Structure 1
Amino acid sequence: MQRICLYPKDVVALTGRSYDAAKRLVRRAREAAGKPAGALVTVQDFCRLTGLDEEEVSRALNS
C-alpha cells in the first residue's frame, strides 16, 4: 500500500531542510489546503505548495 500522508521527517529526507523548517513547510501546506490544525497533510497538498512533481515525491516516499 502506498503512503499518501507526509510528515516533517519525510520533508527532511526529500528536501534536505532542517526538522524545524520541515515542520513549518508542512504547516504551510496544511494551511494552504484549508485544513484544520492537526489534520494530515497529503503528498498532493505538499506538491501543490512546493511545485514538486507528485509522482517523484510518491516514488521517493514508497521506495
Structure 2
Amino acid sequence: MLGVTSGAPETTARRLADLGFTPGTAVEVVRRAPLRNPVIYRVRDYEVCLRREQAALLRVAETAR
C-alpha cells in the first residue's frame, strides 16, 4: 500500500486510513462479488469490503510473494 490518491476527498482519505489502509501496509484481495463489486480485502488482521469507487482511490504496488 503506497497511500491514497491526492484527489480523494479528505473525509474519504481519513476513513480509509482509519480502516488500516496506510502506507507500508500489506493489502490482499480475498474475494470478489459476482459482478466484481464490492471486493473484500485483507488489511492487517481483518477483512474490509470496499466498493470499486473506494478502491480506485488507493495507490498500491504489487510485491513478490
**TM-score computed with the length of structure 2 as normaliser:** 0.27
The structure with the largest alpha-carbon Rg is: 2
Higher strand share: 2
Q: Point out the structure with the larger helix share.
A: 1
